[in-house]
Amino acid sequence: MRSWDDFLGHFGSVLLFLALQLVCLYLIVQYNERQRTIFNHTALLISSSFDSRFSQWKAYFNLENESEKLHAENARLRTQVRRLQREQVDFKNTKAKKKPDSCFTYHPAQIIRNQTRSRYNHLIINAGHSDGLSEGMAIVCEKGVVGQTDFCSQRFCSVLPLIHVQSAVSATIQRTDYFGQLRWNGRDIRYAQLEGIPQHVPVAEGDSVLTSGYSTVFPRGEAIGRIHSVELPAGSNFFDIEVKLNVDFGRLRKVYWIENPDRDEIISVIESRRYDQN
Amino acid sequence: MIRTNLGRVVFFILIWALQVLLFRYMTLGWEGTIYAQVFIYPLFILSLPIRMRPEFVMLLGFILGLCVDFIYLSPGVHAGALVALAFFRRYLLNFIEPRNGYAVNDLPVLSDQGMGFIATYYALGLILHCFWYYVFDMFTFQSFIELWIKTIFSAGFSWFFLLIIQFLFFYRR
């Protein structure tokens, strides 16, 4: 109590002053037309700037959520693009197939572990058997091909990326349509090597390299990279081609895995053919 | 006259009546803007006893300000300015305290304090009051020059009239 009295003794007049000033301000704003206009205008300015800042913060904290949504949306749209391409082809074909090929479906996933320093790099994504993922499915991101699935658990899956010395992807040069194998020599994660392009093919630096679609894994036309340098080793029939990869493996986060509904059927065809030969 | 409580009540009414009946009409301005007004009612607050409790001074200032606002049709503007003057009056009195201090029953008026003190005291008090008044009146800091022109002109005219009142009523030979 004593300290409270002291406080009032010291600051009572200040408190009363502030209180009376507040009362006066209230009266001014309430009953004077001009001052009220100014007050309302200023209040609007302040509150709107505050609101916009607050909504910026909110948006910032919501970004993860938002990008999650966009990611899913993108997967849907990519699937739809594939379907539309397919329908266009079917439409142009006068002899349409009785049962058209199914179309590739894109699903969103996130990389939860990344590795770039080894020759045997592996990524882990947060989708697995329970999501419908199995071995040998394509992983792409918005810039291009990442790799293919390797080993799947119930909820996670390891990915064999392009930057693994054992990875091999069938790729074509977009301008000439010749295809070869894309491999990685284990040195620079920015570059991969395209093998099997014969020396008579006109190859130029800067040509786009896409997936060929000649495998059960990747759909046709997913971007891989651009030709960085071309060399013809002495006495060889095939070019040594360095491909600058579109995907920056050092900062990869959101990816899509691609489901090919026809895959099992195609594989069974391949298997039976092998069976034949043996 | 203002040394008793009854006298102060009469003084209160008198100064309010003078302000709203006479000095309300003494304004100077052009092109729709009033640059100088005459405020004599701060004299009531400025003339209260030196040792009066500041809370009480502020309440009196609030009441007188509201009474003036009632006629000026500007609720809160004069009251706010006068409350500010009442609050800062204490510090003002400390600031210009004569070398030998105030006598116990002195009032800050001409007959008790002399010409130099009164002129300084009123000048500072009126500048404070007018500044506060015009801040509340304009309610914007867009034009500092206009604010200060109004403050200085109004304070100057009011100062002149306050000194005349002092000579008329508080001059003791």
Is residue A277 scored above 60 in pLDDT? no
Q: What is the pLDDT of residue A87?
A: 78
The residue of chain B nearest to residue A23, with distances taken between CA atoms, is B76
Best CA proximity match to A116, nearest among A137, A143, A155, A146: A146
Interchain contact, A28 vs B54, CB within 8 Å: no
What tokens were used for A241?
């081609």
Q: How many residue pairs from chains A and B have C-beta atoms closer than 8 A?
A: 64
Interchain contact, A17 vs B87, CB within 8 Å: yes
User: Looking at the complex, does the CB of residue A38 fall below 8 Å from at least one CB of chain B?
Assistant: yes
CATH fold label, A105-277: Thrombin, subunit H (2.40.10)
User: Looking at the complex, does the CB of residue A44 fall below 8 Å from at least one CB of chain B?
Assistant: no
Q: What is the pLDDT of residues A197-219, one digit of tens each?
A: 998 989 989 999 999 888 888 88
Positions of chain B with pLDDT under 70: 1, 173
From the list B59, B74, B140, the residue facing A32 with the nearest CB is B74
Interchain contact, A20 vs B58, CB within 8 Å: yes
* Contact residues, chain A, for B69 at CB < 8 Å: 27
From the list A17, A26, A35, the residue facing B58 with the nearest CB is A17
Q: What is the pLDDT of residue A182?
A: 92
* Contact residues, chain B, for A30 at CB < 8 Å: 75-76
Non-local (6+) Cβ contacts of A154 within 8 A are A128, A129, A130
Q: What is the pLDDT of residues A85-114, one digit of tens each?
A: 877 777 776 665 666 666 788 899 988 888
Residue A17 contacts residue B87 (beta carbons within 8 Å)? yes
Q: What is the pLDDT of residues A111-153, one digit of tens each?
A: 888 888 888 888 899 888 898 888 889 999 888 899 999 888 8
User: Looking at the complex, does the CB of residue A37 fall below 8 Å from at least one CB of chain B?
Assistant: no
Span A34-38, mean pLDDT? 88
The burial of A222, by beta-carbon neighbours within 10 Å (0-12 exposed, 13-18 middle, 19 or more buried), is given as buried
* Contact residues, chain B, for A35 at CB < 8 Å: 77, 136, 139
Residue B19 contacts residue B41 (beta carbons within 8 Å)? yes
Q: The dihedral of CA A43, A49, A54, A55: what is its sign?
A: positive
Q: What is the pLDDT of residues A231-258, one digit of tens each?
A: 998 888 999 999 999 998 888 888 999 9
Helix (H) or strand (E) holding B82: helix B77-95
Total H helices, total E strands in chain B: 7, 2
Q: Which residues pair with B70 in a beta bridge?
A: none
Q: What is the pLDDT of residues A7-27, one digit of tens each?
A: 777 788 899 999 999 999 999
The DSSP call for residue A199 is: T
Interchain contact, A20 vs B55, CB within 8 Å: no
Amino acid residing at A107: H
- CA of B172 vs chain A CAs: smallest distance (Å): 34
What tokens were used for A213?
């679609």
Between A66 and B90, residue with greater pLDDT? B90
Q: For A225-250, what is the HEC assignment?
A: EEEEEEECCCCCCECEEEEEECCCHH
Q: Domain extents for chain A?
A: 2-61, 105-277
The mean of the pLDDT values for chain A is 86
Amino acid residing at B122: Y
- CA of A225 vs chain B CAs: smallest distance (Å): 60
DSSP E strand stretches across chain A: 105-113, 123-125, 138-140, 145-152, 157-161, 169-173, 179-183, 191-195, 208-211, 223-231, 240-245, 254-259
Write out residues 15-34 of A within 8 Å (CB-CB) of B: 16-17, 20-21, 23-28, 30-32, 34
Q: What is the pLDDT of residue A92?
A: 72
Is residue A83 scored above 60 in pLDDT? yes
Q: What is the pLDDT of residue B69?
A: 92
User: What's the complex ipTM?
Assistant: 0.89
The residue of chain B nearest to residue A39, with distances taken between CA atoms, is B139
Non-local (6+) Cβ contacts of A183 within 8 A are A165, A167, A168, A192, A193, A195
